Structure 1
Amino acid sequence: MHDETDWRQKLSGFAGNDPPTLIAICDAFLEEVPILIRQIRSGWEDPKDEKTLQVAAHTLKSCFRYVAPDSDIERAAEFERGAANPQAIEPERLEQLEAIAARWCELVGELRAETIAARE
């Protein structure tokens, strides 16, 4: 994982260094990412639903751009590219993506809590 200060500054910059905006972005990330992971798993398990897989992976990739290094963003991009043939995506790849998303949700949740605590 790249420097923790780096991603925190990056996300804060997207929020205009405004704590209420940062909290709102964190809230949106924490709400959206688990939904996207469920949609990716569903699209992977049901090959007839390639559009759901493609859109969810694309959106997850966009969410990751706020915080994650290129290697994590690339994991989501792999699923987006593989949407036409999801059965060719190994289960380990899906598990890796789920773990990456869970880790970022944990980190973003910690930043959210710290930001709220600093305002009190």
Structure 2
Amino acid sequence: MAWLNGEPSNGNGDDQLIDPKPAQNIVQMPAPPKMEQRTERGTTVIDLFGVLRTLGLGDQVEFYEMYLAKKYGHGSKDLTPGEISEQFITLSRCKRDVKMLKQLTDYFAALENYKKAA
């Protein structure tokens, strides 16, 4: 009734003012997950790994990540939409161009040999 009459009330009927300080035991909600980057066509990093699998390179993810870090300075999680698009086009071309696929697999093999030697 007090609230209806414009008087301060906490709404629980006991007319005690609400403590404006937040409770100390409130659990903070985690930050929302980072939205996955998409190109204008909707291509995502997941699509890149899908193309790797279709090329028979699904077990080469570690070396693909190394390639991305060397090329862009970061791994797949931080690719921009432009970088995703560029990689999608490049990997898709490997489906049609055997020579290009061979270059990629040779590069991955060199990275693997380098890792073993280190």
What TM-score, normalized to structure 2? 0.27
Which one has the largest radius of gyration? Answer: 2
Point out the structure with the larger helix share.
1
The TM-score with structure 1 as length reference comes to: 0.27
